[in-house]
Amino acid sequence: MTQAGKHMAEELLAIDGVTKAYPGVVANSDVSFSITKGEIHALLGENGAGKSTLVKMIYGLVKPDSGKMTLRGQSFAPAEPRAARASGVAMVFQHFSLFEALTVAENVALGMENPPQMRALAARIKEVSEDYGLPLDPDRMVGDLSAGERQRVEIIRCLLQDPKLLIMDEPTSVLTPQEVEILFKTLRQLSAEGTAILYISHKLEEIRALCDGATILRRGKVVASCIPAEKTARELAELMVGAVLTPPARAAKKAWPETEAALEVRGLSATSPIPFGTALKEISFSVRRGEVLGIAGVAGNGQDELLLALSGELRSDPQMVLSFGKPIGALGPSERRAAGFVAAPEDRLGHAAAPDMSLMENALLSGAVRKGLTRRGFIDWGATASWAEEIVARFDVRTPGISVAARALSGGNLQKFLMGRELSQSPAVVVINQPTWGVDAAAAAFIRQEILNRAEEGAAVVVISQDLDDLLEISDRFAALNEGRLSPMRPTEGLTVDEIGLMMGGAHGMEVAHHGH
């Protein structure tokens, strides 16, 4: 079963007592583990457990404070990514490593030390991408590719350098279940050829299906090593979180008087205001009071645009968005808030919150209308402060105070604050994109519970998420966005992962590639 056995457990990379501290936080503390040749090794941990810092050290982007690394028996301390690549380490990033306005071939060339001539490189890209079942057109602009295709660009870029160790940082967060299968085939093929893979994830089933060994990190420390196939997902989860988890409680559905839908969207089409964004095409759905609608989809299929269209930042024809029968498509964010809407965008710093403003100012940012924090345009700072304090207390936001800048908070704490800000405005309609993005399991459970509580109080809720766990746990009905279109709606109960995957667009026409092998 384990690939490691086939390769006589020849050690490739050893990490020994590595420590890295940032001001105020120890990202890695005395971390040790090793990977053998051809092994698929999982690095498992919650957001903020220190996985990313660890791989950045292996890739030469960050220098450890102490400890040492050994690659193929040689001391290994890459000063920069170039040195790591020269030693045979390649990395597929979660974010920030592709150039949207450049072509696939140019992107690949930038990741190589001595790229061949463009024409020769383009031919190589075609050849290798087909060999591994990841077909790519080298002349296309990366900005026009889907999330899955972009990831292929990164993988091909790595493969062209014949890596001995391939690091993959949360690779499946941008893929449909079907695309994940294709990726796993590719990774197994690589492993069989002797390439070791360091696979970073917090998705337990994937790790059980794919990995030969696992190292589990919690708060920067190694808490366990195991063979994932020998553990249940629940056991892995408890190792990762360090606590026993309880799913959110759902009260029995209250029957709300039959009125017109709290939110109805009718044939909503809109071009994206975001560069390389996805246009919304003919989206229709309706949500009643007390109901939670879950919208799944791979990143970049129109989620951001849908949120903008519902929050009022992207305006449409008045009749395309209705609330209790009233046309509101042409109203802006403030007017929609007055009509009972709250919205929480995915991007926390810069969209949902102003990074350099204090929590108090950020509370005012979206709460001014519904909480009545201004009088004739003059701000009631006293009321704003006490409301901000209330959010901090109720949503357990760990912060020295409300005058701290938003960017000073950790991702999870800021998410709690922002969710608290929207959910404590007694909304009639709630729209949230990625409610639990980047928070730990306990906070995620709390946020899901709060969303359910609002529904119970009679709000209509739309949750857009790439995390299927979010959606399956809280939504009553379920749909998926695919290339700007919304699939038909289905009751959540009884849905299988395969069905969900097909709603999300299946493998976007990729299946063929592997079958040809």
Partner 1 sequence: MDLGGINPAVLIASLMVASVPIMLAALGELVVEKAGVLNLGVEGMMIMGAICGFVTAVETGSPFLGFIGGALGAMALSLIFAFLTQVLQANQVATGLALTLFGLGLSSLIGQGYVGIKPPATAIVPFGPLADIPVVGRILFSHDPVVYLSIALVAGVWAVLKFSRTGLVIRAVGESHDAAHALGYKVTRIRILAILFGGAMAGLGGAYVSLVRVPQWTDGITAGAGWIALAIVVFASWKPWRILIGAYLFGGITVLQLNLQAAGARIPVEYLSMSPYLITILVLVIMSSGKGRASLNAPVALGQNFHASR
Partner 2 sequence: MLRLEKRPSPSRFWQMATPVLAVVLTMIAGGLMFALLGKNPVEAIRTIFYDPLFNPQFAAYSRPQLLVKAGPLILIAIGLSLGFRAGIWNIGAEGQYIMGAICGAAVGLAFYPSESVLIFPAMVLAGALGGWAWAMIPAILKTRFRTNEILVSLLLVYVAEAILASMALGRLRNPEGGGFPGSRNLSKWEASANPELIAGTGMHWGVVAAFIAVIAAYILLQRHILGFQIKLAGQAPRAARFAGVAPTKLVVLCMGLSGGLAGLAGLFEVTGPAGQISIDFGSGYGFTAIIVAFLGRLNPIGILLAGLLMALTYIGGELAQFMLGLPSAAIQAFQGMLLFFLLAVDLLSNYRIRLAKRGVA
Q: Which residues are at the interface with partner 1 (CB under 8 A)?
A: 22, 53, 56, 60-62, 80-82, 85, 93, 96-102, 106, 109-111, 115, 275
78 sits near partner 2 (criterion: CB under 8 A): no
Q: Which is nearer to partner 1, 61 or 224 (CB)?
A: 61
CB of 273 to partner 2, least distance (A): 9
For tokens 């030693």, name the residue. 87
Q: Which is nearer to partner 2, 204 or 431 (CB)?
A: 431
385 sits near partner 2 (criterion: CB under 8 A): no
Binding mask 335-374 for partner 2 (x = CB under 8 A): x-x-----x-x-x--xxxxxxxxx--x--xxx-xx----x
Binding mask 397-436 for partner 2 (x = CB under 8 A): -------xx-xx----------------------------
Q: Are 198 and 122 in contact (CB under 8 A)?
A: no
DSSP string for residues in 35-92:
EETT-EEEEE--TTSSHHHHHHHHTTSS--SEEEEEETTEE---SSHHHHHHTTEEEE
379 sits near partner 2 (criterion: CB under 8 A): yes
How many residues belong to the chain? 517
Binding mask 122-161 for partner 2 (x = CB under 8 A): ----------------------------------------
Catalogue the E-assigned strands of 257-316.
263-270, 280-287, 292-296
Of all helices (H) and strands (E), which one includes residue 308? helix 303-311
From 378, 382, 494, 515, residue interacting with partner 2 (rule: CB under 8 A): 378
Q: Rounded CA gap, 184 and 4, in Å?
A: 17
From 164, 190, 206, 215, select the one nearest 50 (Cα to Cα).
Answer: 215
Of all helices (H) and strands (E), which one includes residue 446? helix 441-456
Q: Which is nearer to partner 1, 99 or 381 (CB)?
A: 99
CB of 388 to partner 2, least distance (A): 14
Binding partner at 329 among partner 1, partner 2, none, C-beta below 5 to 8 Å by kind:
none
Backbone phi, psi, residue 460, to 5°: -90, 130
From 58, 62, 93, 84, select the one nearest 169 (Cα to Cα).
Answer: 93
CB of 374 to partner 2, least distance (A): 5
334 sits near partner 2 (criterion: CB under 8 A): yes
Binding partner at 457 among partner 2, partner 1, none, C-beta below 5 to 8 Å by kind:
none
Q: For the beta carbon of residue 295, count every other beta carbon within 10 angstroms.
A: 27
Q: Are strands 25-36 and 11-22 parallel, antiparallel or unpaired?
A: antiparallel
Residues near partner 2 (CB under 8 A) are 23, 63-67, 77, 311-313, 332-335, 337, 343, 345, 347, 350-358, 361, 364-366, 368-369, 374, 377-379, 381, 404-405, 407-408
